[in-house]
Amino acid sequence: MKNKNIKYFTMAVCLLAFTACSKLEPVVDPNFPSLGSVEANASKSQLNSLAIGQISNARNGLATYLQVTGTLGKELFNFNTTESRWMTELNGIRPIDNSAFYNGATTAFGLPVRQANIIIAAVDNTNAATAAEKSAYKGLANTFKGLACLYQLNVQYKNGIRLDITNPFKPSKAASYEESLKAIAGFLDEGASQLDAAGASFPFPMPSGYAGFDTPPTFKRFNRAIALRVAIYQQDWAKAEGLLAQTFYNETGSLTAGPLHTYNPSAPDAPNPLINTSSARVVAAQKVMDDAEAGDRRLSKVTVVSPSLNYAAAGITYSSRYLSNIYNTGTTPVPIIRNEELVLIAAEVAAQRNRTADAVRLINVIRTAAGLPNYAGATTRDALINAILKERLYSLWYEGHRWIDMRRYDKIAEIHLPVAGMRVLLQLERPVQEVNWDNANP
């Protein structure tokens, strides 16, 4: 995604818990217009820049999020030669630090939420857009707001998240996990309704990664796919079944179909931040890949190296011969949600609703694509869920799901711990900025 207006403005205030600022005070940024310039009667070009900034900001924190959740779920490890906390604190060997870099898996998604709120406020206070165009801006904003909040909630879990930061100096208290999921579903539902009223096209350009999802009706399918993910977290299987038909789910379609985050190493954009470097290499957990079935095409996500890659620091020794092979260039896109996930969700919903034949058929869609024989295991609900979780491990490896999947099925204890002293954390600590704010504002 290459655009000179990737961020139309930089926030004029520190975003309390959602930034690394230690104090809350106004800051004037001489490089960008102030927030006031879009608060009242923003022009069409300003609104478009805000929308483009929203799409760009949606990528914020993604690298940290995917590597943190992957590490917590022990599906991958970051052999980082300059930062031992990837292998120690995130693996429970040392106490977690609520001011460390990995808290970006929570805090970095605050800017997309704030950007969405600004777009909504700007649209409500301008005469430069038609009613349909205003719905388009809002539908985009609420979709990305829901997605960003979901990422935050996934790592905060029972800590919950703040649902209202419209005024960053008067944020709401953190809601419970259940309340947060309900509110996120509400943001997405509101966005879907707005997209319904947005007409046939967006008033702003969409990046190439959204090909097939670049009009309000097609973008709504993406919105409904995220809502579907929320529904299975809520264990609302009836709702999930109803949502499937509103997404881009296609049992016979390409499993890679779905919207993508795109990157460009040339300024003013940025390269894909997930590329392996000489000092930070993402490896698959050795046992995860060793346990894969022979001939599984999904093993192409890693390169088998010889000799094995070794990590030896901070009292930890661990080896893996499986180096991530997904993100190799600065322009490699990152999927947001794919049809493969939707097919597996459809299988999970079928299993939960005792439609055994449908569940088996959908499992076999995935296995056939992976070059594997049909599923031949037991067909009880528990057996099918275990089979689906296994397929999700390999189909969605390095996409931020394993830890959440095992947690939502109370199977954290089943995650293999390859190094003595490791444990699986249920959630990250609340970021220090959040704690400090609540202490100062009881």
Overall average pLDDT of the 401-406 stretch? 98
Contact residues for 343 (Cβ-Cβ < 8 A; gap 6+): 249, 251, 255, 362, 365, 366
Tokens at 52, concatenated = 């483009």
Could you tell me the CATH number of the domain that includes residue 162? 1.25.40.390
Contact in structure between 400 and 409 (CB atoms under 8 Å): no
Domain contains 24: yes
Domain contains 355: yes
Residue 32 has pLDDT above 60, yes or no: no
> Which one, of 192, 205, 178, 103, lies nearest residue 147 by Cα?
192
| pLDDT of the residue at 324 | 98
| pLDDT of the residue at 244 | 98
Residue 26 has pLDDT above 60, yes or no: no
Residue 178 backbone phi and psi in degrees, to 5 = -65, -45
Instruction: State the residue for tokens 């058929």.
Output: 361
Overall average pLDDT of the 170-190 stretch? 97
Q: For residues 264 and 69, what is the distance between their CA atoms, to the nearest angstrom? A: 25
Residue 47 has pLDDT above 80, yes or no: yes
Domain contains 236: yes
| C-alpha dihedral (46, 51, 52, 56), degrees to nearest 10 | 130
Residue 409 has pLDDT above 90, yes or no: yes
Confidence of residue 38 (pLDDT cuts 50, 70, 90): confident
Residue 427 has pLDDT above 60, yes or no: yes
| pLDDT of the residue at 66 | 98
Residue 315 has pLDDT above 80, yes or no: yes
The residue range of the domain holding 167 is: 16-75+92-269+338-418+425-440
Contact residues for 334 (Cβ-Cβ < 8 A; gap 6+): 59, 62, 260, 261, 263, 272, 274, 327
| pLDDT of the residue at 210 | 98
Confidence of residue 37 (pLDDT cuts 50, 70, 90): confident
| pLDDT of the residue at 155 | 98
Q: For residues 227 and 184, what is the distance between their CA atoms, to the nearest angstrom? A: 8
| pLDDT of the residue at 34 | 62
Domain contains 281: no
| pLDDT of the residue at 184 | 98
Overall average pLDDT of the 398-413 stretch? 98
Instruction: State the residue for tokens 């390859």.
Output: 418
> Which one, of 442, 441, 397, 407, lies nearest residue 427 by Cα?
407
Residue 7 has pLDDT above 50, yes or no: no
Q: For residues 81 and 107, what is the distance between their CA atoms, to the nearest angstrom? A: 24
| pLDDT of the residue at 40 | 85
How far out from the chain centre does Cα 210 lie?
16
The residue that leads in pLDDT, 39 or 299, is: 299
Report the number of distinct structural domains present in the chain. 1
> Which one, of 232, 143, 136, lies nearest residue 189 by Cα?
143
| pLDDT of the residue at 95 | 96
Average pLDDT, the chain: 92
| pLDDT of the residue at 24 | 35
Eight-state DSSP code of residue 296: -
Classified as helix, coil or strand, 117 is helix
Domain contains 280: no
Overall average pLDDT of the 165-176 stretch? 94
